Amino acid sequence: MLKFVFMLVIIFFFSFLERFYWMVQNLIFLVGFLFMIKINFLSYFTYISYMFGLDMISYGLILLSFWICGLMLMASEKIYLLNNYKNFFVFMLMMLLMMLLLTFSSMSMFMFYLFFEASLIPTLFLILGWGYQPERLQAGIYLLFYTLLASLPLLIGIFYILNFNNTLSFNLLINVSFLNMNLLYLCLIFAFLVKMPMFLVHLWLPKAHVEAPVSGSMILAGVLLKLGGYGLLRMFSLLQISGVKYNYWFISISLVGGVLISLICLRQTDLKALIAYSSVAHMGIVLSGLLTLTYWGLTGSYALMIAHGLCSSGLFCLANISYERMGSRSLLINKGLLNFMPSLSLWWFLLCSGNMAAPPTLNLLGEISLLNSIVSWSWVTMIMLSFLSFFSAAYSLYLFAYSQHGKIYSGNFFFSVGNVREFLLLMLHWLPLNLLILKSGACMLWI
């Protein structure tokens, strides 16, 4: 694991050099491909160095981090062209990638917590430094305080485990029983529920998305939401008994919340806000499946996390491409795009259909597994799940139909095509999303 960390440290120095923007992007992809070769489909930790190691869950999420970070540089060409502190931007992005790599490969609970919180700082800088509106300050503070406040109990819980058990290694903490188990359960999972985000503690996410630059939205939707799911997958190895007793609270909130958020999606006029709220709805179903603690639930939540990371990130790229052309993210202005940008309409269609889990995307595999696990946990959930599936399709169709059809906005007097960079960017989101279904064993057989 250490060799990848060293590679990233070397790329850090390139970020300070002039005209090395695209070089850094190529190097991120190169390290990503080298990392891809290291796969060995084992359910236990491999490539163990002093504090770091890999198992199947870490592997997929680190690969997703490399992929999304490479694409973030590609999507943010405007920062490069306008010379908007591009070196500092690349530095922040590399810092974020490093923190994500270390978070997902930590084998100690405290190191995981440390890097989990440290990944917040570069994200905050991305939103404050390159965001669009003055409200980005408020969005940044929301993001910081929601996540920091919720993760303080996690730190206390980790120290309690250390005091009780004399180790924080994930491998040695399987089915250990503690005193005050119920309080510990709440302490350990609350930080991850906020990060997911669960309905009722999700308010920071739409704000952060709407104010963030395209790169900030991509990494938020693509990888940072997955930190919550990853943390829960790790923590539930020692919280199984409490989980069986209390998880129904959070499953109920997530499913009802998912339906309410889907209804909120149907009345959004801001492209980015719509995609951000759809992320909350998707994470609701991921959380519910994960908390059932069944085989299908755990594997399905992992598959949908990977799929959502690619799909949501691609949709944010599309929203940004429209924003760069039209100067607005409002659906009242971004309509009739079929006349204005015909070559991009196919991409809107492909990614919106991915968002509503149409075959052959990886989203479909994840959603089928999650539906199975949640319904087998309790048949009453079928009511909310059917609403959730229906409205999920409804807001994806609403997004596509409203943006592509209708009378074109009269302020538009020109015709625009995408450039090669944008098509490549969208292709690199869409291809893995549809090709991963051919190798779905990696997503479904890691327990």
Q: What pLDDT is stored for residue 13 in this prediction?
A: 87
Block residue for tokens 């992992």: 302
The token pair at 321 is 């491409």
Task: Note the pLDDT tens digit of each residue in 38-49.
Answer: 888 888 888 888
Residue 281: the pLDDT is 94
| Average pLDDT of the residues of the chain | 91
Report whether pLDDT(207) > 80. yes
> If pLDDT is split at 50, 70 and 90, which confidence band does 232 have?
very high
Domain count, the chain: 1
Does the pLDDT at position 177 exceed 90?
A: no
238 lies in which domain range? Answer: 1-444
pLDDT at residue 410, rounded to an integer: 74
197 prior amide bond cis, ω within 30: yes
pTM of the model as a whole: 0.95
Q: Would the pLDDT of 425 be above 90?
A: yes
Supply 384's token pair. 């909310």
What are the structure tokens assigned to 366, written together? 């994840």
- Give the side-chain half-sphere CA count within 13 A for 291: 28
Give the integer Cα–Cα distance in Å for 286 and 255: 10
pLDDT digits (tens, 9 = 90+) for 88-133: 999 999 999 999 999 999 999 999 999 999 999 999 999 999 998 8
Cβ contact 14:23 at 8 Å: yes
- Mean pLDDT for the stretch of residues 53-63: 92
* Best CA proximity match to 312, nearest among 228, 209, 191, 199: 209
